[in-house]
Chains A and B, each alone.
Chain A
């Protein structure tokens, strides 16, 4: 059990500055997820914590030890790799026991720990098999088992579920969460999948181009994204963005563009006042749109034309056109609309998001 501190962490390859001034405090027992598109520096950050990449500048502390110059084996970490990285010539038992053998644990202790881990993961029947005789999900379990037998201070996961099919991924996700609740070991988890990030993480770190964009609890990232990138990255389908002008009419602020005119709700009016006469980016999540009824105020409703209807059973995704803007709405499965029909949508005024056009920061 240990906290992990990253201070002004940087990684430069010859041409590429992969990780830029990362400062992060992973608390003891916390499950933290690094998420971002490929090339955002999340894996490099994790590998620096593991000791598999040299640190260009900055400092990493695990527990109360600075580990910058420690080899991986002395950092008291265990890692699960995307491709499992099981030793192909060893049985499942030997794969899991290898790290303990290297550390000269007594045989009885190894057998006990491997047995315990196998029981937790439900792979007791597989201990005599070789990796090639296992399915993808079983291999991933063995890879996790190899990590937990060591009782390390920190678990590092490098996209461990991305080689599994969708159904198995959901199942393993739940198991990993249960495992963390049981073991309470500090974990750093890297993924490009925002759903994994949101469901697994106590806190989520969103990265892009080597920079940390935002650190926060999953719902905080969802409801209060720090910038346009985080807003678009978290949530599926992604947030709709529109370039709108801020105008002043009848003593209230409005945002408008071709085909869209929405009153700025009082919660945002104060901050948006400074943008009067300028353009900002308006963000609306698909789930914050619904079909308007007669009771809806005209201030928070607008007309659209249905482009594509995607019925998913539990909900319907509508691809719509509002003037020049293309947007997606997520509506009740009972809504009956056809393509090319007119549809009036209402929005949740308190859930609108506004972003500065240049800095892309949340307003």
Chain B
């Protein structure tokens, strides 16, 4: 079947939009369901009547009010911020320095170490948390949010290092050489040349570090058992599931609010990320 170019273009576009549409429904349904449920009254959530995809018995903010007044949600939020910000900072500093050393200093075994770093990342949390429990216990950090500041970088640093090695490798060597001739030492080269040039890579790595740290669930669940030390992910779940009673409205309200910071971060940094990609470094 051969139509005119215009008809074929339209048909192709329709197929593309169809596929994109299907994916959008698939991926946006959970957040929609979260928002929907968080606004329903308990009666409607538990009702077996009517259409569950819309609010029929009137919207309510009760779950949000309860979340802030009857649970430790704000404490969890504060703890999440207190854990995530230093985790991201520490992880990025280590990753940047490791990636620079591995990609540029050219010491013996740099390649093997680079690969090794990435392999470490492949060990899943669900295996690591058992031995790490002993380590955290030994450090006296059990039931402290600071335990997360120790364990999260073990997952973040390998991946970010690997990601940044790739990014640094794309920076032309002539740029280092020009800086060397200009009189920069390694630290100045890293801070004044590499970091500004690698901004898109740094942002990608930061987003990853933030996401891992913000959304980590297993480690806080395993290492922390006081409400005052708990973070958002585990805290919301543990305080709103009592035995076999699920406070769906509150759970959904908490989940929705907890997922906002990453969404905002992505929305804000994506523009920056893309504009960074278009910067020319050497040739036209």
* A residues neighboring B (CB under 8 Å): 50-52, 71-73, 77-79, 81-90, 98-99, 102-103, 131-132, 136, 146, 150, 163
Contact = CB atoms under 8 A, between A and B. Distances in A.
B279 A146 contact: no
A79 B178 contact: yes
B182 A98 contact: yes
B47 interface: no
A102 B279 contact: no
A86 B279 contact: no
- Among the interface residues A71, A73, A163, which one has the most CB atoms of the partner chain B within 10 A? A73
B174 A83 contact: yes
Nearest to B184: A102
Given A72-B177, A88-B281, A163-B283, 8 more contacts: A85-B178, A89-B199, A99-B181, A99-B182, A102-B182, A103-B183, A131-B280, A136-B284
B177 A79 contact: yes
- Describe B's contact surface by its main secondary structure: helix
Nearest to A83: B282
Contact of A79 (B181, B197, B199, B279): B181
Given A83-B174, A131-B280, A163-B283, A88 B180 contact: no
B280 A73 contact: no
A73 B183 CA distance: 4
A87 B279 CA distance: 11
B108 to A, nearest CB: 14
Interface string B181-196: 1111000100011001
Contacts, number: 76
Contacts of B175: 85, 87
Nearest to A150: B182
Contact of B180 (A72, A82, A84, A146): A72
Given A73-B183, A79-B178, A99-B183, A84 B282 contact: yes
Contacts of A163: 283
Contacts of B183: 73, 99, 102-103
Given A85-B175, A87-B193, A102-B188, A78 B282 contact: no
- Describe A's contact surface by its main secondary structure: loop
Given A52-B177, A81-B177, A88 B182 contact: no
A89 B177 contact: no
A83 B281 CA distance: 10
A89 B180 contact: no
- Among the interface residues B175, B180, B182, which one has the most CB atoms of the partner chain A within 10 A? B182
B174 A132 contact: no
A78 B178 CA distance: 9
A98 B188 CA distance: 11
10 contacts: A71-B180, A82-B174, A83-B282, A84-B283, A86-B178, A87-B178, A87-B197, A88-B280, A89-B279, A136-B284
A77 B181 contact: yes
Contacts of A103: 183
Nearest to A99: B182
Interface string B74-116: 0000000000000000000000000000000000000000000
A88 B181 contact: no
The 7 closest A-B pairs by CB, nearest first: A99-B182, A102-B183, A85-B174, A73-B183, A132-B280, A89-B196, A85-B178
Contacts of A102: 182-184, 188
A318 B197 CA distance: 52
A124 B284 CA distance: 21
Contacts of A98: 179, 182, 184, 192
Nearest to B279: A88
Nearest to B281: A88
- Among the interface residues B172, B174, B178, which one has the most CB atoms of the partner chain A within 10 A? B178
A88 B197 contact: yes
A81 B196 CA distance: 21
A99 B188 CA distance: 12
Nearest to A102: B183
B140 to A, nearest CB: 44
A217 B177 CA distance: 31
A135 to B, nearest CB: 8
Nearest to B193: A87
B276 to A, nearest CB: 10
A85 B282 CA distance: 5
Interface string B149-182: 0000000000000000000000010110111111
Contacts of B172: 83, 85
Contacts of A52: 177, 180-181
A71 B183 CA distance: 9
Contacts of B284: 136
Nearest to B195: A89
- Among the interface residues A77, A78, A85, which one has the most CB atoms of the partner chain B within 10 A? A85
A146 B65 CA distance: 62
Contact of A72 (B181, B199, B279, B280): B181
A163 to B, nearest CB: 6
A88 B170 CA distance: 13
A83 to B, nearest CB: 4
A13 to B, nearest CB: 13
Contacts of B178: 79, 81, 85-87, 146
A113 B277 CA distance: 33
A82 B188 CA distance: 23
A312 B246 CA distance: 89
B81 to A, nearest CB: 30
A326 to B, nearest CB: 38
Contact of B174 (A81, A90, A131): A81
Contacts of B283: 83-84, 136, 163
A83 B178 CA distance: 11
B182 A132 contact: no
B182 A73 contact: yes
Contacts of A81: 174, 177-178
